[in-house]
Amino acid sequence: MKVYSPNEKTVIRLRINGQIYETEITPRKLLVEVLRELGFKSVHIGCDTSQCGACTVILNDRSVKSCTVLGIEADGSDIITLEGLAKDGMLHPIQEAFWETHALQCGYCTPGMILEAYWLLKEKPNPTEEEIREGISGNLCMCTGYLNIIKAIKRASEIISTKKS
């Protein structure tokens, strides 16, 4: 068993958006800070009580609030942030749909919201409105009133399923 002492730095390895990163951190450092320091500034901080979801990332295929994970806990894990969602300069259908339906205003919740939607649509490719609402209930948005976000996610699910068929 590895024992961490408070001021001693440890090297952790993370696979972020397909690339390997190594960084040295103290045990108390939160994953959200680690990701931001590595340059993934789309991971935002909106609160200090794990409520808002602005820090949501995909960690080992699950959506996780990165403000509630220690950097050292995430050692060896695979992470997707918003920076990694567009492929070859093409927006992901969720990004497309957010744009089309005006599902963002200040944009601060948007990265977390899109990643939560990404995870939700993996779990449930054709969610009902209720399932979408519930699915993003861990993500606060102070600007949009959510309705266009709900619309965007519905729309994204349609785009994705027509692409598949």
Tell me: does residue 141 bind other proteins (CB under 8 A): yes
Binding-site member from 15, 38, 105, 154 for other proteins (CB under 8 A): 105
What's the chain's Rg over C-alpha atoms?
A: 16
Which residue, 76 or 106, has its beta carbon nearer to other proteins? 106
User: How far, in Å, are 24, 119, 137 from residue 113 at the CA level?
Assistant: 29, 10, 10
With residue 151 as reference, give the H or E element that holds it: helix 147-164
Site string for ligand FES, 13-52 (x = CB under 6 A): --------------------------------xxx--xxx
Tell me: does residue 147 bind ligand FES (CB under 6 A): no
The four Cα atoms 49, 53, 57, 59 give a dihedral, to 10 degrees, of 60
Contact 22, 13 (CB under 8 A): yes
Tell me: does residue 146 bind other proteins (CB under 8 A): yes
The DSSP annotation for 136-149 comes to: TTTS--SSS-SHHH
Contact 126, 161 (CB under 8 A): yes
Spatial distance between the Cα atoms of 75 and 8, rounded to a whole number of angstroms: 16
Tell me: does residue 71 bind ligand FES (CB under 6 A): no
Binding-site member from 23, 27, 38, 45 for other proteins (CB under 8 A): 45
Tell me: does residue 143 bind ligand FES (CB under 6 A): yes
- Taking the complex as a whole, the smallest distance from the CB of residue 46 to ligand FES amounts, in Å, to 4
Residues that bind other proteins (CB under 8 A): 26, 28-29, 33, 36, 40-42, 44-52, 54, 81-83, 85-86, 91, 95, 98-100, 102, 104-111, 114, 132-134, 136-150
